[in-house]
Every structure is written in C-alpha cells, then in structure tokens.
C-alpha cells in the first residue's frame, strides 16, 4: 500500500486523488483552474499529438500554456510510434509539466487511423515500447490511459496494463469501456477491478463519474487508487467540491460567482476576440444543467457574440433564479439520466479533433498570452 501511494505522494497529491481528465477542446487553462479551485487535485492539458509537437505546430504549443496560478499540471501525448512518443516526451520534459500521460484510449477514427490513441491497445508490445521510450526521455512520472480493449471480443486490458507497468508506467488510468463502446454502454467495473488486481502500480478509474455516489460505488467495486472525472466536470467543476463535502449544494450566488470567474479567465486567456465567446458558449450551455427554466438562457447563449454579452446573460439569469422560490441547483442525481444518455459528447470530441487535436476553432484567434 505504501509503495502504491508513493507516486501520488511525491507529486503532492492525496492518497486517493481526484483528477480532471485531459479533454480535447475543453481543458484549457481557464477551465482547468475552475476545477482546481473546486478541489481537483490534478488537471491535464488536452491530448497533444506527438506529430504536431515534432512539426512545431503553433496551435499545439499554445495549448501547452501553463497558467502561473496552476500549482500542478499534467500533459497527455499520443503518437503513432514508440519513437515519436519518446521524441515528443523529450521535448515535454523541458516544459513545465509535473507528469506526462500517454493516451492509448482515444476512439476517434481520425486519431486511430494514424495508429494513435486506442490503436496502441491492439499491440501490447507497442504499449511496452511506447511507455519505455517515454520513460527513457524523462524522469517525470509517466502514466498510461487505456480502455479495456478494442472491442468486447478483444478485451486485453490486463495484458496492456502489465505491458505499461513493465515499460515503467508510474500508474495506469482505466476507462472502463472498450474502444467500440458508446457512452450509453455501462462502465465495466469488474474489468477495472481485474486490472487493479493485476498490477502493482496505482490504478485510476475513469468512466461515468457524475456524483459522489459514483465514486463510492467505483471504489467499493474495484479498489482503484484514484478517480478521473471527464463529462461529470463539464459545466460542473463543483463535482470536486461535492466529492469532499457531502452536504454541498450549489446556490445561484455561488454559481454566478464561479461562472463569471470562468468568463473573466476566458477573457484573460483569449482577449475579447469573438472566437473566445464562441468557445465559451459550450461551457455556458453545460453550466445551465440542473437549473429550472433554462430554455431562454440557452437560446440567448447560443448567439452571444462577445464575452461581455455572455456576462450580461449570466447576470440576468442569476437574477431571475434569485427571485424564484428555489435558489439551489437540482441534485445531479436527478439530471444524471439526461447527462449520461441524451447527449453523446463523442460528437463534440469528433468535432474538436476533426480540426486537429484539441483545436477548437481558435486558429483565427490572436496569440494566446503566455503567463
């Protein structure tokens, strides 16, 4: 147990940390900071392509910006060969990241076609070589994020996890689905438990963590050492607060304060460029989850042309809720079905990745400030 927890302790993390996943098109520094404020112990830059790094893509280097107030930060890389990943990690080693993850789970066709993401899972020898090459290029902790396998007929997470461990992985994050499964498919906690049992490095669980009870359920069913939240944090950075404080309920005052802070950070990062407002729209639509009477807010947000317009809408919406008879957001448990099944974020991810990994239409934006 002492050995298992030590890599987290070395990073200054608690024994059972809560992580914000790398999220293409979502986990830029304004959003990461919102989650860190609410208690996320470790956050990540969205997935970076080794090829884009090696070709010195300007947008990719902008995505690697670490804000001066970020106390700890991870980065995630994927690549079509062990050699490319090793070369990219050698560059990442010189940048201000505390830990480096290798993505072996991204299901997006465009990514997989180039041999990246979950394509790596299909060849455990490549998993081993990739992690080994990464570990040879840095002395920072290297982790691997995997799925249970390519499809139900080829579940190989145990072999893959053992290969990653043999290559030197400091921990393994398991998304409890196969590459071919959708978000509507349940997370296979038994598959995750078996991975946990098969390796001696820590295992972080990922998949369908939307509320405190989900963490408790995953912990009991699998014994994993940490938890990585993905969709559950989108529009809901308070999820990390809820993990720590069972009694927490989100009031409209707190909501307004946090959403405005996110808007201000968005402006600090991207300026008043119209694309900054366009990128903020999705966050605002997610932030509206769980409140009553959001239809008109959502419609207005969809056409907010500037961050100032968006700020005005947030203030008006908050005022309306404050004058209603319920100033608290509905329990996420009540909205959980809608969150899990009504909207498949894979399309969001596809759209983001179709424009280049993590490129969210920001190509027309001015230089992002390096803090």
Q: Which residues are catalytic?
A: 106
Show Cβ contacts of residue 235 under 8 Å, excluding neighbours closer than 6 positions: 283, 285, 286, 287, 288, 289
Backbone angles phi, psi at 26, to 5 degrees: -130, -45
Task: Determine contact, residues 104/63, Cβ cutoff 8 Å.
Answer: no
Q: What is the closest distance, in whole angstroms, from the C-beta atom of residue 177 to ligand FMN in the complex? A: 7
Backbone angles phi, psi at 101, to 5 degrees: -110, 150
Q: What is the closest distance, in whole angstroms, from the C-beta atom of residue 326 to ligand FMN in the complex? A: 28
Instruction: Report the residue number, 349 or 362, with the smaller CB distance to ligand FMN.
Output: 349
Task: Determine contact, residues 357/46, Cβ cutoff 8 Å.
Answer: yes
Instruction: Report the residue number, 30 or 207, with the smaller CB distance to ligand FMN.
Output: 207
Alpha-carbon gap, residue 262 to 280, rounded angstroms:
9
Instruction: Report the residue number, 21 or 170, with the smaller CB distance to ligand FMN.
Output: 21
Binding positions for ligand FMN, rule: CB under 6 A: 21-26, 46-47, 76, 103, 105-106, 145, 175, 206-209, 230-232, 345, 348-349
Instruction: Report the residue number, 123 or 344, with the smaller CB distance to ligand FMN.
Output: 344
199 secondary structure, DSSP code: -
Alpha-carbon gap, residue 201 to 7, rounded angstroms:
9
Q: What is the closest distance, in whole angstroms, from the C-beta atom of residue 44 to ligand FMN in the complex? A: 8
Q: What is the closest distance, in whole angstroms, from the C-beta atom of residue 321 to ligand FMN in the complex? A: 27
Alpha-carbon gap, residue 18 to 225, rounded angstroms:
10
């Amino acid at each position: 147990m002492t050995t298992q927890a030590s890599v987290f302790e070395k990073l200054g993390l608690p024994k059972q940390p809560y992580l914000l996943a790398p999220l293409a098109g979502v986990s830029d520094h304004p959003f990461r900071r919102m989650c860190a404020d609410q208690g996320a112990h470790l956050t990540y830059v969205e997935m970076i392509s080794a090829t884009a790094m090696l070709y010195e893509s300007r947008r990719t280097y902008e995505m690697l910006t670490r804000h001066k107030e970020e106390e700890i930060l991870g980065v995630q890389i994927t690549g079509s060969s062990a050699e490319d990943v090793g070369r990219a990690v050698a560059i990442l080693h010189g940048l201000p990241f505390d830990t480096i993850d290798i993505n072996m789970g991204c299901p997006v066709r465009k990514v997989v076609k180039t041999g990246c993401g979950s394509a790596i899972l299909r060849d455990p020898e490549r998993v081993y070589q990739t992690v080994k090459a990464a570990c040879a290029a840095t002395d920072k902790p290297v982790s691997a994020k995997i799925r249970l396998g390519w499809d139900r007929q080829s579940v190989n997470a145990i072999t893959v996890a053992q290969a990653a461990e043999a290559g030197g992985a400091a921990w393994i994050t398991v998304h409890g689905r196969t590459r071919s499964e959708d978000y509507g498919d349940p997370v296979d906690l038994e598959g995750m438990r078996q991975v946990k049992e098969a390796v001696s490095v820590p295992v972080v669980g990922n998949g369908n963590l939307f509320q405190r009870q989900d963490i408790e359920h995953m912990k009991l069913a699998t014994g994993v050492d940490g938890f990585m939240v993905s969709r559950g944090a989108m529009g809901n950075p308070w999820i990390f607060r809820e993990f720590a404080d069972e009694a927490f309920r989100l009031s409209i005052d707190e909501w307004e304060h946090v959403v405005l802070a996110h808007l201000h950070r968005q402006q600090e990062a991207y300026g008043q460029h119209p694309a900054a407002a366009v990128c903020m729209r999705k966050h605002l639509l997610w932030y509206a989850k769980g409140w009553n009477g959001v239809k008109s807010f959502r419609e207005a947000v969809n056409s907010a042309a500037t961050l100032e317009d968006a700020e005005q809408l947030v203030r008006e919406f908050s005022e309306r809720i404050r004058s209603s008879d319920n100033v608290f957001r509905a329990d996420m448990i009540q909205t959980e079905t809608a969150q899990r099944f009504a909207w498949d974020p894979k399309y969001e991810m596809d759209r983001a990745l179709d424009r280049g990994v993590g490129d969210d239409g920001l190509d027309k934006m001015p230089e992002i400030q390096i803090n």
